[in-house]
Amino acid sequence: MLLAVDVGNTNIVFALFEGREIKSRWRVATDPRRTADEYAVWLLQLMQLQGFDPKAVSRIIISTVVPRALHNLEVLSQKYFGLDPLIAGQAPVEWGFEADVDEPRSLGADRAVNTVAAHAKYAGDLIVVDFGTATTFDVVDFNGAYKGGIIAPGINLSLDALVTAAAKLPRIAIAPPQGNNRRVIGRNTEDQMQIGVFWGYVAMMEGLISRLRAEIGRPAKIIATGGLAVLFDEHTEIFDHVDTDLTLDGLAILAERVPVS
């Protein structure tokens, strides 16, 4: 079995694959100070509780946008699974696509993995929207080349900044306004905040995608991934596919490309 580890700025996801099928997944907050032993206590117990034998893991692949977190995950792999992990973007795990941008080395591992997965799973020109700590919009052409994109503040970051800077504003949930949730005239402070944060974000997303499509000049499918993709999909018609496992699938695809030594 393959253990895929996706390290984001906010969370780390561990996913257990059998072939291309995800058998289970576990999530923990990203903390670069967490030791290999702490990971092991948590992860091995969860695997055993769900009936998975850690000895059945024959390969591990890690993708990270938090470089400080990598070392302890490598130690986890070596000490508790007896395996040297594959690291996405480092030999022998090459991306395998052209990064047609000014600074190819600056492309984040998460966005590169999404590019690999999106081109493998969907045909034609693509715009991948990933809702994470930041919301990224990545353009992948019909040949699988990465053409560039957009980085916008994630909706949680936007809300945190608003609440932190304005002392009298309450903290609210990220959700459409209650009742007639298409309305945009708020009758109280919380409603007005929810309208501004939620529908403002939808408008930003739809506007940027419209501009990206115009600049591409060809039909492009919109692939949404990340934690909030399902929520936003209920309130916009802009997405062609919602694929919450896109990054994990990309890691499985990359691992398949590396011969077993």
Establish whether 172 is an annotated binding residue.
no
Establish whether 12 is an annotated binding residue.
yes
Establish whether 130 is an annotated binding residue.
yes
Establish whether 112 is an annotated binding residue.
no
Establish whether 5 is an annotated binding residue.
no
Query: Is 243 annotated as catalytic?
Result: no
Establish whether 84 is an annotated binding residue.
no
Establish whether 13 is an annotated binding residue.
yes
Establish whether 247 is an annotated binding residue.
no
- Angle subtended at Cα 114 by Cα 108 and Cα 117, rounded to the nearest 5 degrees: 145
Catalytic member of 100, 110, 138, 249: 110
Yes or no: say if 62 and 5 are a contact pair by the CB < 8 Å rule: yes
Omega of the bond leading into 92 within 30 degrees of 0 (cis)? yes
- The string of DSSP letters for 229-260 reads HHHHHTT-S--SEE-TTHHHHHHHHHHHHSPP
Establish whether 7 is an annotated binding residue.
yes
Burial class, 26, CB count within 10 angstroms (exposed 0-12 / middle 13-18 / buried 19+)? middle
Yes or no: say if 119 and 112 are a contact pair by the CB < 8 Å rule: no
Q: Annotated binding residues for ATP, as ranges? A: 6-13, 133
Q: Annotated binding residues for K(+), as ranges? A: 130
Q: Annotated binding residues for substrate, as ranges? A: 108-111, 189
Q: Annotated binding residues, as ranges? A: 6-13, 108-111, 130, 133, 189
Q: Which residues are catalytic?
A: 110
